[in-house]
Homo-oligomer: A and B are copies of this chain.
């Protein structure tokens, strides 16, 4: 089953038309026809999987892609944990809000901003270890981690798997760190559920905000309300086609970010970072 070809088969038209779906309209300025770019344009998150396992060789390939991404000063400040043992995965999922896609996926990767390895090196060299006093060393690790994880996601998709990023690894970060036996200065940043896409549950390309809103020329320009309203209309049309409630976009944003309870424990994440880094600034 080929994730890449499926889109063309399903829609009966060229892959390049994925761009039109991405913006809810044809965008003649976006050129495609490049297989690497088409691959990215066609991304959609997959939340239902078959029971097929993820081959160990494919994991190694995806990790090689992840390690090939840029890394700040070649510090390689990340690690990743493969969680595939069913009962262990269930325990992990319990801390991530018992999500269906984690339950369904044969493999969950937990991506870690990891300065514990570099800290041990600093100790061995008897340095002052000053940078570790600042949460910037975590930030640097987070950037590296996310860049690497995205390469892995693209590699899995290229190998015919589907993926879903899991922000909920930050919901109960302290308990998850304990369960995964993380050392100090090593923190969960993002999860990735991986598996073969279930053929009866493929999803469609989701439209995004216009480039006029997210791209700024030399300095920042605040978007007008009517630009957001235009995207609400695009999303409403998309939701209607999907048989979802046609609520648009901005209302969902307001709900998602309106209340502390919608953070599901992530309001404690910064405090967790401070503890994981042992009282740092």
Contact = CB atoms under 8 A, between A and B. Distances in A.
Contact of A143 (B35, B146, B216): B146
Given A81-B216, A154-B36, A270-B281, A250 B124 contact: yes
A266 interface: yes
A interface SS class:
helix
A129 B258 contact: yes
A37 interface: yes
B256 A75 contact: yes
B22 A64 contact: yes
Given A70-B153, A155-B36, A134 B259 contact: no
A80 B151 contact: no
Interface in A125-147: 125, 127-137, 139-140, 142-143, 146-147
A130 B270 contact: no
Contacts of A18: 68
A43 interface: yes
6 contacts: A30-B60, A41-B65, A75-B253, A119-B257, A134-B266, A136-B269
Interface residues of A, number: 134
Interface string A46-90: 000000000011111101110111111111101111111100100
A35 to B, nearest CB: 6
A215 B136 CA distance: 23
Contact of A260 (B131, B211, B217): B131
Given A76-B209, A128-B259, 10 more contacts: A63-B211, A73-B167, A125-B251, A127-B254, A128-B258, A135-B269, A139-B266, A147-B149, A150-B150, A181-B219
A27 B269 contact: no
A9 interface: no
Nearest to A190: B143
A142 B132 contact: no
A182 B218 CA distance: 11
Nearest to A131: B257
A254 B124 CA distance: 9
Given A67-B211, A75-B253, A257-B75, A29 B60 contact: yes
A218 B91 CA distance: 11
A244 interface: no
Contacts of A41: 64-65, 68
A198 interface: no
Nearest 3 pairs of A and B residues by beta carbon: A127-B258, A146-B146, A125-B254
Nearest to A132: B257
B65 A37 contact: yes
